[in-house]
Chains A and B, each alone.
Chain A
Amino acid sequence: MKLLKATTFLVAASMATGAVAQQDGGRLDLIVQPEPPSLMLGLVQNAPTQMVAGQIYEGLLRYNTDLEPQPSLAKEWSISEDGMTYTFILNEGVTWHDGEPFSSEDVIFSTKFLQDNHARFRGAFSHVESVEAPDANTIVITMKEPYGPFINAFEAGSMPIVPKHIYEGTDYATNEMNATPIGTGPYEFVEWEKGSYIHLTKNEDYYLDGLPHIDDLYYRVVPDAASRAVAFETGEVDVLPGGAVENWDVARLTEMDNVCSSSKGWEFFAPHAWMWLNNREGPTADKRFRQAVMFAMDREFVKDVVWNGFGTVPTGPVSSKTNFYTDDVPQYPYDPEKAKELLDEMGYDGTPVRLLPLPYGETWQRWAEAVKQNLGEVGVEVEIDSADVAGWNEKTANWDYDMAFTYLYQYGDPALGVARNYVESQIKKGSPWNNVEGYVNPELDALWEQAAVEPDNEKRQELYTEIQQQIVEDVPVAWLLEIEFPTIYRCNVKNLITTGIGLNDGLRDAWIEE
């Protein structure tokens, strides 16, 4: 057994980052957008829920910005050499917000709870043979087979630990306690004024001495992007999480006094944007057409103008922030002439194509307009479809599109967040997150499978490099941007972003300088 990390260093390390002594107290106002449907992280895992409930619930581990595991509820952990056994030692003296003690029983219960309610957890745990608790502070997980990315599946959003004493034997979905979530995290739920704000307060009995620092957290609901910017300007809120304001406002806001911004805190997610290209029918079924699309789009322009310079133009399916990335792949610079050639070569007959933008605000709408204009310039007539979130979901999940915008998280490992979009076994109607484009390549499927269970990281890198090279040649989807969501905050808020999921669990260590 190989001990990877010990907990005591971390607190010291984070203390060391601040030159000034940390101060306790104060109140922090943050934007949450849109209003989360629920704060019960075990039942609902959408982005706003994760952002708020990440302060209430905890996972066994956290990940730093280099995606290395850090202690959370587990103070120590180890992986057997063969990759078949994971052992976690839990912190002692942890209590739930209602005062009940926390133990390994809660972890065991949570794995059952999440099996029923958490799709991503279900995916990761399909590789697990058994979970056992030899004592109150130890968890032993036995795998069916080695699964490299498994160690990346323990943060609060991927595997939130929920209280057994509240949920056991009840109907989870209608349990009244869902409205007043009980976790082990650094902040406790106080009240939720629907449509207005969510108030969390400091967990005085938190098991890490001296944490958290801030007394009150207010997550403010402001539905209009312009109003959110105003709220920050007028000092009503202190933190604008990534995506809270449109990109055009970012530059203006960061020029204000005492305002800082950071692009960190998204490494674990590494949001990756692309256009689904329907590989089944229409012009997009032709590889040359898809390549032409890649050449026709001025992705640098979009990055500079639509995204105000934030982000990186991707080389392929794997984000440069995700493990096992390579840039040694075919390149698609902006080259309309090349695009036209490809279209001529395939004998494109001018059939118009539909483009479904992502209904997430003005940025995405502008992006679609820019793409439409770019494609129009090489002779491809684009009709922008419109749909709200539900309509977008419906259309992509049922393959009713020619081209459709999307962006997905990568969760630190290609096996977790990338493979699902390209392997044949993931072609299933009804979900907008799998192989929606209908790309079929049995040869690559085998490589994906091999890479996922390969215990040796160097070998994994080789496999993933090969995959990336081939897939970029085929252009099953049109990769657009590695999205960066800068977090904007007052500079006197310190230690706000310390992990790879940023604000989602960052407030444990944050403090406010007077």
Chain B
Amino acid sequence: MTLWKRFLTNRGALLGLAILIAVIAVALLAPVLYPRGPWAMVQRPFLVPFSTDGLPLGTDTLGRDVLAGLVYGARVSLLVGLVSTLMALLIGVPLGALAGFYGKWVDEGAMRFTEFFQTIPNFALAIVLVAILEPTLTSITIAIAIVSWPPVARLVRAEVMSVTKREYVDAARLAGLSNLSILVRQVLPNTVSPIIVMASLMVATAILLESSLSFLGLGDPNIMSWGFQIGAARTVIRSAWWLSFFPGVAIVLTVLALNLIGEGLNDALNPHLSRKGRS
């Protein structure tokens, strides 16, 4: 069975994929759905959900449409999740690859560096970074990337080490290929699967992290994101539960979807570990 087919037989993964596609679609269509943007004060504040036509999820503390905020928030969550993951990969993959491929002092040095970053308390570091750089979309993304690359480096290092031991890599050496070309063309492509699985989970974690930072008031004030919505609404949670409830659900669903996809990919890539596979 091909990877894709195996993936599609996994009901959880399919559900995840469906949710994610929906979220992406909504994010892309945001300007079409709500041309006035998420900040427009459209009605009385604190309108209860399902009470007013056109405002199915009610309005927030300034009379802004909660649904519009959710729709625009999808863009930010996905963007921060994706970009910070990409950045983390850009740091972690080369570092891990070099460490795993060259071994010896390169490995030693790279792993010390990685360990160093793993010793610094992650979330605290993210907070300090955002506070220093001042909360903007860029600084938040950078901070998330900086705290999330070490596991990537470790994974890639382990994978590269294991792939480098395979005989076809020896064969490539004997073919006279250069180290760089072996690393890039023979080794790395064969480590892609676990990296993809990890990346899908990292996007999920990054979304959670972004929302946590926003909750602490370290969000970009010009950007409507889900974390921002919850953070802004937490003080009114008693009187206007829906303001933090719906963005919370949006986060849970998106993160859940990404996790389901990650697990589905993992199962599809490692059929011998999945429960349905034969021993």
Q: Residue-by-residue, is A237-267 near B (CB-CB < 8 Å gives 1, otherwise 0)?
A: 0000000011011001000000000000000
Main SS of chain B's interface residues? loop
* Separation of A248 and B62 alpha carbons in the complex (Å): 11
Residues of B within 8 A of A388 (CB): 131, 217
**Is the pair B61, A226 in contact by a Cβ cutoff of 8 Å?**
no
Beta-carbon contacts under 8 Å, A203-259 to B = 224-226, 229-230, 233, 245-246, 248-249, 252
**Is the pair A246, B236 in contact by a Cβ cutoff of 8 Å?**
yes
Spot the interface stretch: B25-33, B37-45, B161-169, B271-279.
Answer: B37-45
Assess whether A373 is interfacial by the CB under 8 Å rule: yes
**Is the pair B235, A248 in contact by a Cβ cutoff of 8 Å?**
yes
Beta-carbon contacts under 8 Å, A248-304 to B = 248-249, 252
* Separation of A252 and B135 alpha carbons in the complex (Å): 32
Residues of A within 8 A of B135 (CB): 386
Total A-B residue contacts, Cβ distance less than 8 Å: 73
* Separation of A226 and B235 alpha carbons in the complex (Å): 5
Assess whether A311 is interfacial by the CB under 8 Å rule: no
* Separation of A376 and B40 alpha carbons in the complex (Å): 10
Assess whether A183 is interfacial by the CB under 8 Å rule: no
Given contacts A252-B239, A305-B61, A305-B62, A365 and B232 within 8 Å (CB-CB): yes
**Is the pair B63, A305 in contact by a Cβ cutoff of 8 Å?**
yes
Residues of A within 8 A of B240 (CB): 248
**Is the pair A387, B134 in contact by a Cβ cutoff of 8 Å?**
yes
Q: How large is the interface on A (under 10, 10 to 19, 20 to 34, 35 or more residues)?
A: 20 to 34
Residues of B within 8 A of A362 (CB): 61, 231-232, 235
**Is the pair B62, A384 in contact by a Cβ cutoff of 8 Å?**
no
Partner of B222, one of A224, A225, A383, A387: A383
Partner of B134, one of A230, A252, A369, A385: A385
Q: How large is the interface on B (under 10, 10 to 19, 20 to 34, 35 or more residues)?
A: 20 to 34
Nearest CB in chain B to that of A383: its residue = B222
* Separation of A256 and B40 alpha carbons in the complex (Å): 33
**Is the pair A248, B234 in contact by a Cβ cutoff of 8 Å?**
no
* Separation of A248 and B45 alpha carbons in the complex (Å): 11
**Is the pair A226, B222 in contact by a Cβ cutoff of 8 Å?**
no
Residues of A within 8 A of B62 (CB): 305-306, 366, 369-370, 373
Of B39, B136, B220, B238, most buried by chain A (CB within 10 Å of CB) is B238
Q: Residue-by-residue, is A362-403 near B (CB-CB < 8 Å gives 1, otherwise 0)?
A: 100110111011001000000111111001000000000000
Main SS of chain A's interface residues? helix
**Is the pair B134, A391 in contact by a Cβ cutoff of 8 Å?**
yes
**Is the pair B238, A386 in contact by a Cβ cutoff of 8 Å?**
no
Assess whether B221 is interfacial by the CB under 8 Å rule: yes
Assess whether B237 is interfacial by the CB under 8 Å rule: yes
Residues of A within 8 A of B39 (CB): 369, 372-373, 376
Partner of A249, one of B45, B221, B231, B238: B238
Of A249, A362, A372, A384, most buried by chain B (CB within 10 Å of CB) is A362
Residues of B within 8 A of A226 (CB): 234-235, 237-238
**Is the pair B45, A386 in contact by a Cβ cutoff of 8 Å?**
no
Partner of A384, one of B131, B222, B237, B239: B222
Residues of B within 8 A of A229 (CB): 235, 238
Given contacts A249-B239, A369-B62, A305 and B222 within 8 Å (CB-CB): no
Nearest CB in chain A to that of B235: its residue = A246
* Separation of A38 and B38 alpha carbons in the complex (Å): 42
**Is the pair B238, A252 in contact by a Cβ cutoff of 8 Å?**
yes
**Is the pair A366, B221 in contact by a Cβ cutoff of 8 Å?**
no
Minimal beta-carbon separation of B161 from chain A (angstroms): 43
Of B217, B235, B236, B238, most buried by chain A (CB within 10 Å of CB) is B235
Residues of B within 8 A of A366 (CB): 61-62, 232
Residues of B within 8 A of A361 (CB): 235
Beta-carbon contacts under 8 Å, B204-242 to A = 217, 219-222, 231-232, 234-240
Given contacts A366-B62, A386-B135, A248 and B236 within 8 Å (CB-CB): yes
* Separation of A391 and B134 alpha carbons in the complex (Å): 8
Assess whether A357 is interfacial by the CB under 8 Å rule: yes
CB<8 Å pairs between A and B, sample of 8: A229-B238, A230-B238, A248-B240, A362-B61, A373-B39, A386-B220, A387-B134, A388-B131
Point out residues on A near B: beta carbons under 8 Å: 224-226, 229-230, 233, 245-246, 248-249, 252, 305-306, 357, 359, 361-362, 365-366, 368-370, 372-373, 376, 383-388, 391
Point out residues on B near A: beta carbons under 8 Å: 39-41, 45-46, 61-63, 131, 134-136, 217, 219-222, 231-232, 234-240
Given contacts A373-B62, A384-B221, 6 further A-B contacts (CB under 8 A): A305-B45, A305-B63, A357-B221, A359-B217, A369-B221, A386-B135
